[in-house]
Structure 1
Amino acid sequence: MLRNDMTLSLFFTRNISLEIWLKAGLFDREKTIYEQYLKRDYIKEIYWFTYGSHDLEIAQGLYQLNRLNKKIIIVSKPKIFFGKIGNLIYSFLMPVLHAKFIKRTSFIKTNQFDGSWSAIIAAKLFKKRLIMRAGYILSQLNDKAINHNKIKSIIYKIIERSACKNADHIIVSSEHNKKYLIDLYHIQPNRITTVYNYIDISLFNSKNSDRYKDRLLFVGRLSPEKNLLNLVKALEGMTLTLDIYGEGSLKDSLYQLGSQLHVDINFMGSIPNAKMPDVYNKYKFFILPSIHEGMPKVLLESMACGCICIGTNVGGISELIQNEKTGYLIQGTSETDIRKTLEKIMKSDIKLDEMAILSTMKNHSVETIIEKEYKILKSIV
């Protein structure tokens, strides 16, 4: 058992702020585990080191609305640092500028590898325990990207190697990410733990409502790795509508391709995560045709809400979907592969294993995840 006067510092991903979390609809989901730490008296106080110059004022409003626990203290960026260059400079100076908070902290934790050097500097300067958490692996994503950048790959691997070397413990969100880091950086297996992404199963659950049977739901970024252009091509001539929740660089391209191929696509924009259960419960089918994934939260959320989930057989997705048991795996990422699976599903009498789905959800509940993280904290005291 940890002393109940322990404190935790969370270093946000570089360039990410509380304001961005709110605008992207991620705030309610991201804060959950930290408020649970406080609720259970595992941690006395939490400091969030963000890249927003106005985050402190934003937090005051959230406190007044009871949307954020007052024991989560926002350490915001000084206004003198602006733009991406300013953020980069700030990332190196952050530990010195906010030394009074770091001195009071018991543990330092990162949100991703990007910006992790701030946490490393803080831990070294003030002799604090460091947990390196990564929901995705920068070099792995870059190496799998269509437009692979060799210079970025070198930089990412330098960042990751330093992070893994200096961490007291490393947390990743999937088994394939764990294997990747162990193999590439020769990490001792007892220094790295898979802690899956969590969902609030009291919020994300099936309401057994009437659902669209002739529509596919996609939720996420409209970016190349999500493979949405091939999905649209696969839908040509099929009587399925594609409803997309999310924003991204491919929106115009998807709109043009949909018009050209006469595929019915509805762009629904982004909405707060707390409102997504109602969305998921409107659909029978959810699809995630990605070229690669970490541990997709949207797949967990849709499965918990009773959707029949369809995803490509790639890392992350294949850790969640057992083919024809908890969902359907597409054996490839091409438009032909996607169409073949969709046609099979539309013709079949679908009977998934509800007990297997419930077991998957239990493994990803907030309660399960926080106990795993707390065990790690206790192990490095």
Structure 2
Amino acid sequence: MNKITQISIGRFHHFHLARQLEKYNLLEAIWTGYPSFKLKDEDGIAVDKIKTFPWFRAPYMALGPWIDYLPALKKQWDWLAFESIDYFVAQNIKSPTTLISLSGTGLYSGKKAKSLGGNFICDRGSSHIVFQDNILKDEYHRWGFKYEGVDNRIIQKELNEYEIADFITVPSQFVKNTFISMGVNEEKVIKIPYGARLERFKKIGNPPSNKFRVLWVGAVSIRKGFIDLLNAFNLLSHPNKELLVIGSVQPEIKQIIKSKNIKNVIFKGNLPNTSLAEYYSKSHVFVLPSIEEGLAIVQGEALSCGCPVISTPNSGAEDLFEDGIEGFIVPIRSSQTIHDKLQFLIDNDLMRKKMSENAILRVKKIEGWDTYGKNMVGFLKSKTYELK
């Protein structure tokens, strides 16, 4: 079979995939918008196979959270970053390859790969882009904000990618269902759930006995349902509760929480991924009630550290753990249900400890990213031959 060329504007799960492909001697190259100095900890991949095209992404990253206050500039910058890396890789594909590109970065390079006798796989980490745009529009309106929407140029580009791709890989049943609901042939959509980096995430401590700590890790945004968690947390009955928030806070959330009680909420900002195992291990529960995403990797990280998870089907939770065993799967937009599950864990500490044990066992069974690699390689070996 052809060797694999990857494109990912950032890191996401694509470097985990690259490590797996390298193990099977299948990786040709991985192209990324990340600058090389940001990739020094990406071990397991031959240095000469990591190709960087940082001219748009690096300045964007340098602006940090300030870019969120400039939506028009952010939209144009995103578009140029996605377009430029796609064009550049297309020019550098000289022989047959199987291209796996993050959606929005592979239209021209995918066409080039196919023209040379290779294959094109569009890898979509979130729900179908039209479904995504619609549900986020509803969610922003729910909180009284105007939704700028996904750039129409990106929507059209992704729809074209879905059309010409040989296959579309997705991480969860939730995402697959959104593609089917939007009229994409079910056989074209291949579900391969993500894993967790077990060598980095393991239980290294215990939650405090004198307080109940709820943990959040990720962008603090409307999309990820942060206000639903905050409302649930404020309803909790506990003499010493704490909501520990790790991640950058988006402008809309800053505006909303001006009228909210955040007395027991600690905002830590962004922290290195290497430091998170301690926070997962020393929290009673991790909560991520996302309105829409593919399969949030932070859930697997939390489970690996023995931290029970409360999440939604729209976070891909159903492909990672079982409701009532390693945590709870709750409906989107339901502060009351989140509150009820948190209160249950407060009132039933033995059950919470059992869920912690179950979480570690669950992640060991799925073997972290190794299972993801085996499943992806199995798919590639069977389907790419089939396409010839």
TM-score bucket (shorter structure)? 0.7 to 0.9
The correspondence for 1:199, drawn from 196, 201, 204, is 196
Equivalence for 2:97: 106
Report the Cα distance in structure 1 between the residues aligned to 2:156 and 2:91, rounded to whole angstroms.
29
Contact 1:299 1:309 (C-alpha < 8 Å) held by counterparts: yes
Does residue 1:211 correspond to 2:245, yes or no? no
1:207-246 superposed matches below 5 A: 207=204, 209-212=205-208, 213-236=211-234, 238=236, 239=238, 240-246=241-247
Contact 1:325 1:353 (C-alpha < 8 Å) held by counterparts: no
Equivalence for 2:371: 368
Equivalence for 1:34: 18
Contact 2:86 2:106 (C-alpha < 8 Å) held by counterparts: no
Q: CA deviation at 1:197?
A: 1.3
Report the Cα distance in structure 2 between the residues aligned to 1:163 and 1:35, rounded to whole angstroms.
25
Equivalence for 1:339: 339
Report the Cα distance in structure 2 between the residues aligned to 1:86 and 1:331, rounded to whole angstroms.
34
Report the Cα distance in structure 1 between the residues aligned to 2:43 and 2:195, rounded to whole angstroms.
22
Does residue 1:380 correspond to 2:384, yes or no? yes
Q: Which amino acid aligns with 2:101?
A: T
Report the Cα distance in structure 2 between the residues aligned to 1:66 and 1:177, rounded to whole angstroms.
29
1:68-217 superposed matches below 5 A: 69-76=46-53, 85=76, 88=79, 91-92=82-83, 97-98=88-89, 101-104=92-95, 106-111=97-102, 113-137=103-127, 138-145=129-136, 146-147=139-140, 152=150, 158-189=156-187, 191-207=188-204, 209-212=205-208, 213-217=211-215
Unpaired stretches in structure 1, ≥5 consecutive residues = none
RMSD: 3.4
Report the Cα distance in structure 1 between the residues aligned to 2:213 and 2:6, rounded to whole angstroms.
40
Report the Cα distance in structure 1 between the residues aligned to 2:16 and 2:342, rounded to whole angstroms.
35
Q: CA deviation at 1:30?
A: 4.7
Does residue 1:8 correspond to 2:12, yes or no? no
Q: Which amino acid aligns with 1:263?
A: K
Does residue 1:358 correspond to 2:341, yes or no? no
Report the Cα distance in structure 2 between the residues aligned to 1:356 and 1:244, rounded to whole angstroms.
21
Q: CA deviation at 1:365?
A: 1.7
Q: What per-residue deviation string (whole Å, max 9, x for no partner) do you get for residues 281-337 of structure 1?
A: 121211112233321111111011101222245461244342221212335533333
Contact 1:10 1:110 (C-alpha < 8 Å) held by counterparts: yes
**Secondary structure of 1:108's aligned partner:** strand
Report the Cα distance in structure 2 between the residues aligned to 1:230 and 1:272, rounded to whole angstroms.
26
Report the Cα distance in structure 2 between the residues aligned to 1:181 and 1:283, rounded to whole angstroms.
35
Q: CA deviation at 1:186?
A: 3.3
Q: What per-residue deviation string (whole Å, max 9, x for no partner) do you get for residues 13-48 of structure 1?
A: 4xx4xxxx5xxxx6xx652331332233233x3131
Deviates more, 1:326-335 or 1:216-225: 326-335
Equivalence for 1:252: 254
**Secondary structure of 1:276's aligned partner:** helix
Q: Which amino acid aligns with 2:258?
A: Q
Report the Cα distance in structure 1 between the residues aligned to 2:308 and 2:55, rounded to whole angstroms.
46
Contact 2:4 2:100 (C-alpha < 8 Å) held by counterparts: yes
TM-score normalised to the size of structure 2?
Answer: 0.77
Contact 1:204 1:301 (C-alpha < 8 Å) held by counterparts: yes
Report the Cα distance in structure 2 between the residues aligned to 1:151 and 1:278, rounded to whole angstroms.
36
Q: Which amino acid aligns with 1:196?
A: P
The correspondence for 1:62, drawn from 40, 49, 52, is 40
**Secondary structure of 1:36's aligned partner:** helix
The change in CA–CA distance for 1:263 and 1:312 in structure 2 (over 3 A counts) is: farther
Q: CA deviation at 1:151?
A: 7.2
1:289-328 superposed matches below 5 A: 289-312=289-312, 314=314, 316-328=316-328
Report the Cα distance in structure 1 between the residues aligned to 2:91 and 2:48, rounded to whole angstroms.
16
How much identity, in percent, do the aligned residues show? 20
The change in CA–CA distance for 1:77 and 1:103 in structure 2 (over 3 A counts) is: farther
The change in CA–CA distance for 1:140 and 1:358 in structure 2 (over 3 A counts) is: farther
Q: Which amino acid aligns with 1:107?
A: T
Q: CA deviation at 1:187?
A: 1.3
Q: Which amino acid aligns with 1:40?
A: Y
Q: CA deviation at 1:273?
A: 1.9
Equivalence for 2:30: 47
Matched residue count: 352
Report the Cα distance in structure 2 between the residues aligned to 1:346 and 1:96, rounded to whole angstroms.
53
